Amino acid sequence: MAADSQDIYRNLSADDYQAAPIVVESMCANCEENGETRIMCTSIPYYKAVILMSFECPHCGYKNNEIQSGEAVQEHGTLVVLRVQKPEDLRRQLVKSEYASIEIPELELEIPHKSQPGEVTTVEGVLERVHRGLSQDQEKRRLLDPEGAAQIDAYLARIQSCWDLKENWTLRLSDPTGNCYIQNPDVRHVDPRCIISHYHRSLNEKKLLALADDNDQEEPAEEEPAPEFKSYEDAKQEVLHFATDCPNCHGPTEVKMKPTDIPFFQTVIIMSLACDRCGYKSNEVKSGGAIRDQGCRLSVQLREDVDLARDVLKTDTCALSIPEIDLEVGGNALCGRFTTIEGLLTATKEQLDAQSSFFMGDSAESGEKSAVMTFLEKLDDIIALRLPATIILDDPTGCSYVQSLTAPMDDPRLTKEFYTRTFEQNDDLGINDMKVENYGELEVLKEDEEEEEEETTTGEA
């Protein structure tokens, strides 16, 4: 049944007296007697549908709690990388499914998928659980296997060192379902120590999620003959079709793509997907030009209704900021889209509201709640033009666009500034690794090295 069904996934509310868990008799994994599992399907406001499960055995007292996502598998897997440097990083809340894996390179620690149930915990809780598991039966181990116990004690000391923040360390949370999160302590600003990225699932991960048959194998992509165009203008008149899998039902479908020109800007690519099996639809707009020689910073003063109606092309790498309310949204936080200023602000507000509402539960301080509520109210005032503001789009690729109301003349409320990218920005875009001159020499050098290695091997033989 659908995850948004009101009959099964009821909204989590203290006033809902009819919401009662389902009680199922099940075997205890500890003593193999019968215990009770309580299952409750609920929908957390501003978050998603979840399944809460609690087991208790009246015979041996064994207890176990677990949370599972009631949502569908997301279109892409999610990778969250957190650099733990401060005490508040340890207190960040962490949500993961049972398919998530956790890695801490500094400790050479890897928690594989399905080795732990899905849960809502903290970054500190991850270390605490590992420390508690390794410390179990350590006294007996010192008597039976002193050498092994000494090695575990040394490893526990390394965990404690990271726990006490005597050194900085990295936590990598990877979830092929896409249902994992690490809390941003300040949703108004870019998280300086956390990076979120999305990836296409491998065949093994699809098998893990039952999205592919266990007997499926990687098939070499069949090369289809490319359409022949006499010129670039001919290509703009054609709608290209590409085979793909539907992100909703995972059945075969196709993506339609067509390049088009935006006046006084550049070429963009419009992509559309419509699945005939499940009816899923999606639309997306990407910049069709190359990375510009310089980055671009666009500033728009919001004073009238026409300013909110300006067309905007925001790329994935474009960051957004509003100095009047101290808002900073980094690149990749909002996906690339072609919308209006009002649509962009509304999408930003909805994302900030969704991220903050789940982590601002009963345990959050009242000051934090009021600060977030005040911030969202200011954002509403900007959208309603009750609060004058300036929206700044900073795109290191230079491929974002804001419509000018007086083009080709200068727009008094639109400012465009070009700047030279930093080394770090070029590195993020992969420009530093590009070799655009004499790149043929790399292949020749590789072939010469292979010939020398063969000659050396023959001489040794």
On whether both 112 and 200 belong to a single domain, the answer is yes
Distance of CA 370 to the CA centre of its chain: 27
Higher pLDDT among residues 170 and 288, named by residue: 170
- For residue 157, the SS3 value is helix
DSSP bridge partners of 273: 255, 282
309 Cβ contact list (under 8 Å, min separation 6): 340, 341, 342
On whether both 19 and 138 belong to a single domain, the answer is no
Q: Is the pTM of this model over 0.75?
A: no
Inter-residue contact 35 to 57 (CB < 8 Å): yes
Inter-residue contact 140 to 148 (CB < 8 Å): no
On whether both 201 and 103 belong to a single domain, the answer is yes
CB half-sphere exposure, 201, CA atoms < 13 A:
25
- For residue 124, pLDDT over 90 is answered with yes
Tokens of 353: 């509201």
Inter-residue contact 257 to 250 (CB < 8 Å): no
CATH of the domain at 207: 2.60.120.1040
Residue 407 domain-assigned (yes or no): yes
The residue range of the domain holding 15 is 10-69
- Over the stretch 136-185, which tens digit does the pLDDT of each residue have? 888 888 888 889 889 999 999 999 999 999 999 999 999 998 888 888 88
* pLDDT computed for residue 1 by the predictor: 38
- For residue 460, pLDDT over 50 is answered with no
Residue 450 domain-assigned (yes or no): no
**What does the longest C-alpha to C-alpha distance in the chain come to?**
85
On whether both 139 and 109 belong to a single domain, the answer is yes
* pLDDT computed for residue 5 by the predictor: 46
Distance CA 75, CA 91 (A): 29
Q: What is the mean pLDDT of residues 343-365?
A: 71
* pLDDT computed for residue 440 by the predictor: 58
Residue 131 domain-assigned (yes or no): yes
- For residue 385, the SS3 value is coil
On whether both 283 and 305 belong to a single domain, the answer is no
- For residue 299, pLDDT over 90 is answered with yes
Distance CA 319, CA 337 (A): 13
Residue 189 domain-assigned (yes or no): yes
Share of the chain above pLDDT 70, in %: 80
Q: What is the mean pLDDT of residues 9-26?
A: 66
Per DSSP bridges, beta strands 414-419 and 295-302 are antiparallel
Q: What is the mean pLDDT of residues 336-355?
A: 84
What sections of 200-294 are H helices per DSSP?
203-208, 232-236
Residue 389 domain-assigned (yes or no): yes
Comparing 157-166, 256-265, 275-284, 371-380, the range with the smallest average pLDDT is 256-265
User: What is the spatial order of strands in the sheet that 337-340 belongs to?
Assistant: 337-340, 311-314, 401-402
The total number of structural domains in the chain stands at 4
Distance CA 199, CA 208 (A): 16
Distance CA 36, CA 34 (A): 7
- For residue 378, the SS3 value is helix
Q: What is the mean pLDDT of residues 266-273?
A: 81
Q: What is the pLDDT confidence band of residue 457, given thresholds at 50, 70 and 90?
A: very low
* pLDDT computed for residue 235 by the predictor: 66
On whether both 61 and 82 belong to a single domain, the answer is no
- Over the stretch 320-334, which tens digit does the pLDDT of each residue have? 999 998 888 887 777
Burial of 165 (0-12, 13-18, 19+ CB in 10 A): middle
Residue 117 domain-assigned (yes or no): yes
SS3 content of the chain, % helix, strand, coil (to 5): 30, 30, 40
Higher pLDDT among residues 51 and 346, named by residue: 346
Residue 274 domain-assigned (yes or no): yes
Taking residue 55's Cβ as centre, other Cβ atoms within 10 Å add up to: 19
Residue 459 domain-assigned (yes or no): no
Q: Measuring CA to CA, how many Å separate 153 from each of 95, 123, 144, 159, 276?
A: 29, 22, 15, 10, 58
On whether both 196 and 91 belong to a single domain, the answer is yes
* pLDDT computed for residue 115 by the predictor: 86
- Over the stretch 194-231, which tens digit does the pLDDT of each residue have? 888 888 888 888 888 888 888 888 766 555 555 565 56
Distance CA 423, CA 426 (A): 5
Tokens of 203: 């065949």
Per DSSP, which regions of 113-251 are E strands? 119-122, 169-175, 181-182, 194-199, 240-245
On whether both 91 and 177 belong to a single domain, the answer is yes
To the nearest whole number, what is the mean pLDDT of the chain? 80
| 215: phi then psi, degrees, rounded to nearest 5 | -90, 0
Crossing angle, helix 366-383 and helix 341-359, to 10 degrees? 170
* pLDDT computed for residue 360 by the predictor: 55
Q: Measuring CA to CA, how many Å separate 294 from each of 227, 290, 396, 425?
A: 33, 11, 7, 11
On whether both 408 and 354 belong to a single domain, the answer is yes
CB half-sphere exposure, 271, CA atoms < 13 A:
14
- Over the stretch 79-110, which tens digit does the pLDDT of each residue have? 999 999 999 999 998 888 888 999 999 999 99
Q: What is the pLDDT confidence band of residue 305, given thresholds at 50, 70 and 90?
A: very high
* pLDDT computed for residue 361 by the predictor: 53
On whether both 306 and 423 belong to a single domain, the answer is yes
